[in-house]
Amino acid sequence: MTNERILILDFGGQYDQLIARRVRELKVYCELRPCTMSIDEIKAFGPSGIIFTGGPHSVYEEGAPTADPAVFSLGVPILGICYGCQLMAKLLGGEVKPAQSASAREYGRTETDFDTASPLFQGLKKRSVTWMSHGDYISCLPEGFSPAARSEACPTAAIQNAARSFYGVQFHPEVRHTEQGMDILRSFLYGVCGLGGNWTMGGYRESAVKALREQIGSDRVLLALSGGVDSAVCAALLSEAVGKQLTCIFVDHGLLRKDEGDRVEAAFAGRELNFIRVNAGARFLAALRGAQAPEKKRKIIGAEFIRVFQEESAALGEIEYLAQGTIYPDVIESGGGSAAVIKSHHNVGGLPENIGFRGLIEPLRSLFKDEVRQLGRELGLPEELVSRQPFPGPGLAIRVIGPVTERKLRILREADAIFREEMAAAGLGQAANQYFAALTNMRSVGVMGDGRSYDYAVALRAVSTEDFMTADWTRLPYDLLDRVSGRICAQVPGVNRVLYDITSKPPATVEYE
């Protein structure tokens, strides 16, 4: 894979995952691990450098998270960020105190002056904006340390012991609000740690294929292929590694977008694997009959999917391995670090202890979403599949508000297809991170063909976001919305009104149910 490895010790900060993403963007492999990692585990990891994350605590609080002080004797460069900076100072003999006045606390955009003679800040502008979020400050530096940056309220906005390659910054270089943040991280990785940036998807593909062949040998592998980016890339990688030893079961639950099932099947038509498509739309629709509550619909679809998958796999005979498209954010959000569980992912914590297979294979477990997409391109998957926007597992069932019927699904598929066609024709396919049509459960009076109609309203939704934790509604051009509305009302029977959702997240969510 790579000999360049950065260890990120997680102290529970809100930006911890973002630090890892930024390091990967700079083509250096890293992993986010709990700060409780023992010194022997750290040695076994073999880091080229270590980053301490931020965190919500004060270092002098009872029970505040800490690290084994032996980490400072490894001879490895260390960068502390916010809480991590203060913890470094405390563990090495310095003092950290709460700010004596409100004016000494710093939150948000802060003008900061840098000592550009510092190895961490060489080549930077002497003054620029950083993003601060702290109520404590380092009142006494450890022996051998000196200030390397300052702000109006904080004379130790950055500290350094260049002789030992220990650095700390009170601000957050990983957020976009810090103007030179990526330059600072690059200086630490390339300048201080001496790394070359050899983490690429081409290299990962080569090493992953080799590792999969060694693990699987001549055994068989089963993968549930949803058609989403993660499972599709997982299938393509396994196909390259073990070919016909892989069987993919694609359960088409009849809740996909227009022609989507056919496109998924076509994408794998030329690959060396066993592809089984199960057209179970009628079965899922029957199971959903009368269900209105979103959570009930989700549970019905999830349970039915498992039943169909089990029935199909049982007919294949003995298969040794089950494969999943688990990716790194799934692991982190399910409690893989020190941060609280954001949401438990079924593919991380939802599997029974005895899964009925010899082992579980997750070749994408160390990758972020953008890396998965890059790998998909390396593997030759079509761009429309690789760049596919997030699509919920329950599919259109949760974009049809209220009861799901075949007629409602037909209406929604056509309306959604028109919206996507017009976005593409206008060259705005990348203007929003996610966009779709939803069929409301509202019917209203309209006038069509000089006659009265009483039909459904379709809602259009487009959002822009970096991480989907928050999202802003996308300001699409009025003339585009006019064309979409006109085409939907004219070409989709059952619709006489089109709405555009201008609600951000929060207070709304991206999806409707």
| Residues 99, 63 share a domain | yes
Report yes or no on 505 lying in a domain. no
Among 232, 237, 221, which Cα is nearest to 379's? 237
Give the range of the structural domain holding residue 427, as residue numbers without chain letter: 399-500
| Residues 163, 238 share a domain | no
pLDDT, residue 334, reads 53
Report yes or no on 447 lying in a domain. yes
| Residues 412, 367 share a domain | no
Q: What is the rounded distance in angstroms from the CA atom of residue 206 to the CA atom of residue 211?
A: 9
Report yes or no on 509 lying in a domain. no
The series of mean pLDDT values per 10 residues for the chain, 513 residues long, is: 84 87 93 93 96 91 92 97 94 85 63 96 94 81 95 90 96 92 97 93 92 95 88 94 94 93 88 92 94 90 87 88 85 52 37 64 89 93 86 89 96 97 94 94 86 92 82 95 97 96 91 88
Report yes or no on 393 lying in a domain. no
pTM above 0.75, yes or no: no
| Residues 358, 444 share a domain | no
What DSSP element (H or E) covers 75? none
Report yes or no on 513 lying in a domain. no
Catalytic-residue membership of 82: yes
Q: Which of 174, 260, 422, 513 is catalytic?
A: 174
Q: Which of 30, 82, 85, 248 is catalytic?
A: 82
| Residues 344, 212 share a domain | yes
Q: Write out 120-185 in H/E/C secondary structure.
A: CCCCCCCEEEEEEEECEEEEECCCCCEEEEEECCCCCCEEEECCCCEEEECECCCCCCCCCHHHHH
Catalytic-residue membership of 4: no
Q: What is the rounded distance in angstroms from the CA atom of residue 265 to the CA atom of residue 275?
A: 8
| Residues 319, 213 share a domain | yes
DSSP 394: T
Q: Which of 35, 57, 154, 172 is catalytic?
A: 172
Q: What is the rounded distance in angstroms from the CA atom of residue 342 to the CA atom of residue 485?
A: 37
| Residues 188, 209 share a domain | no
| Residues 417, 364 share a domain | no
Catalytic-residue membership of 95: no
Contacts of residue 459, Cβ cutoff 8 Å, sequence gap at least 6: 437, 438, 439, 440, 498, 499, 500, 501, 512
| Residues 277, 166 share a domain | no
If one counts every other C-beta atom within 10 angstroms of the C-beta of residue 470, the result is: 12
| Residues 455, 346 share a domain | no
| Residues 404, 354 share a domain | no
Report yes or no on 251 lying in a domain. yes
Q: Which of 146, 168, 192 is the last residue of a domain?
A: 192
| Residues 213, 181 share a domain | no
Domains held by the chain: number: 3
Query: The domain that contains 206 carries what CATH number?
Result: 3.40.50.620
